[in-house]
Structures are given as structure tokens and as C-alpha cells.
Amino acid sequence: MASFRMTRSFISLVRIATVALICAGIGACQMTGESGPTTSAAKAELSSATAKAIAGDMVSKLAEIVVPGSGTVVLKSDGSTFGEALATSLKGWGYAVATPDQQADGGKRIHIAYVIDSFEGSLLARLSTSTVDLGRAYTFTSTGAAPSSPLSIMQRS
């Protein structure tokens, strides 16, 4: 019985390590420019409910780090279902949202890009600003998606 528990714990550690490596790999694929991240990509096809669930969770975590009302969010969307859900969620949390070609009201501009990808039945989500990256894995549920990993936070100076 102890052998079974040890094997199960080992498998769980391997899964966590795999998710961490994948998130790091996704992070390495995105370039950042002088004003922050430069591209967004939803590589996985998402239902509206799944996109809303992931966007809502990621924006709630972003709000803990980047306070709503601290500037205008410049969302670099790819026009995907997730991009639309993210813009709606940002507005719902009190962020002013603009596209890169719109003029912000002279205040601070917070550039945000995202990446959504699938891997072995999970979804990997990442939000990037010029100062912080948030990453998390999700599983599909009957109501959309639920977090399946801890939140990964990488802060830049």
C-alpha cells in the first residue's frame, strides 16, 4: 500500500513539473517590446463558457497585482473568443480597455497580451504585461473550465 502512495505522489510531481516546463516554454515563445508584450494568440479553440471562465479567473488574479483604475489597459487581441471574453472581464473588473491603435487618455498605458494553448487535455493560459506574467493550467468542466494548477507569477523589474 505504501508503494502505491509513493508511486501516485511521484506521478503527481511529474505532472506538476511537466506543466511548469510547458508554461516556461510558452513564455519563451513570446517576445516583449519596449512597451510590453507584442502579440496575443489563442491557439486552442474555446467555447464561450470556457473562455469566460478562464478570462474571469485570470483577470481576478491580475487585479491583485495591477490595480484596476491605475491606467488604461491596451489589449493586443487576436480577435478570438478568448480575446473578447478577456476584454469583457477586464471592463467588468473596472479596467479601461483600449486597442493598440486607439489613443489612451494621456495616463499610464498597461499593455497586455495573452496566450492560450492546449496540452494533453489541459488548457494553458498566460497573461503578460511589461512587469508581470501570470500563467495557469485549466481543465474542461461542464460549466467551462476550472484551474488545475497553482497560479504561476513571474515579475520583471
pLDDT tens readout for residues 76-108: 778 889 999 999 999 999 999 988 777 656 678
pLDDT in tens, 22-74: 555 555 444 444 444 556 777 777 889 999 999 999 999 999 998 888 889 99
- Adjacent-strand bridge partners of 154: 133
Nearest-5° Cα angle at 133, 129 to 134: 125
Q: What local confidence, expressed as pLDDT, does residue 32 receive? A: 43
The domain in which residue 58 lies consists of: 2-155
Q: What is the CATH number of the domain that holds 79?
A: 3.40.50
**How confident is the model at residue 3, as a pLDDT?**
52
Question: So what's the pLDDT on residue 143?
Answer: 86
The CA-based dihedral angle spanning residues 87, 48, 80, 64, taken in that order and rounded to the nearest 10 degrees: 30
How much is the pTM? 0.74
Number of domains in the chain: 1
* Arithmetic mean of pLDDT, 109-128: 90
